[in-house]
């Protein structure tokens, strides 16, 4: 997580909190989801259906999972950053 600088919170959900961050090296803006649940092994993380699915999916209408990071039993998903979610796009 040292590669990223947190800019601000975006949203808190049932399974975690999403923040907007910037990659310190590339200056790429990303969204980082921190899972509420603790994960005590890498195998436990990789068994999650969300990770299994997102790693395989590659479609223009699905947010790209860039990397998965586990630090001190906390699990983070790094996604490409989108300005709006699907609900906001439909509403507009």
Q: How far, in Å, are 17, 41, 61 from residue 35 at the CA level?
A: 7, 14, 23
pLDDT in tens, the chain (92 residues): 899 999 999 988 889 999 999 999 999 999 999 999 999 999 998 888 888 888 888 888 788 999 999 999 999 999 999 887 777 778 77
pLDDT at 90 (0 to 100): 81
**Cα 1-39-36 angle, rounded to 5 deg:** 75
pLDDT of residue 41: 92
Cα 7 to the center of its chain, rounded Å: 14
Cα(42)–Cα(29) distance, integer angstroms: 26
What is the rounded distance in angstroms from the CA atom of residue 24 to the CA atom of residue 59?
27
Residue 32: Cβ-neighbour burial (10 angstroms; 0-12, 13-18, 19+): buried
CA torsion 84-17-75-39 (nearest 10°) is: -140
């Amino acid at each position: 997580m040292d590669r990223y600088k947190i800019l601000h919170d975006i949203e808190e959900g049932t399974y975690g909190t999403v923040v907007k961050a910037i990659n310190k090296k590339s200056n790429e803006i990303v969204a980082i989801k921190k899972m509420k649940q603790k994960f005590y092994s890498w195998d436990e993380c990789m068994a999650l259906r969300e990770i299994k699915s997102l790693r395989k999916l590659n479609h223009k209408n699905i947010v790209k999972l860039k990397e998965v990071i586990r630090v001190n039993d906390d699990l983070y998903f790094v996604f490409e950053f989108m300005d709006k979610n699907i609900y906001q796009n439909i509403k507009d």
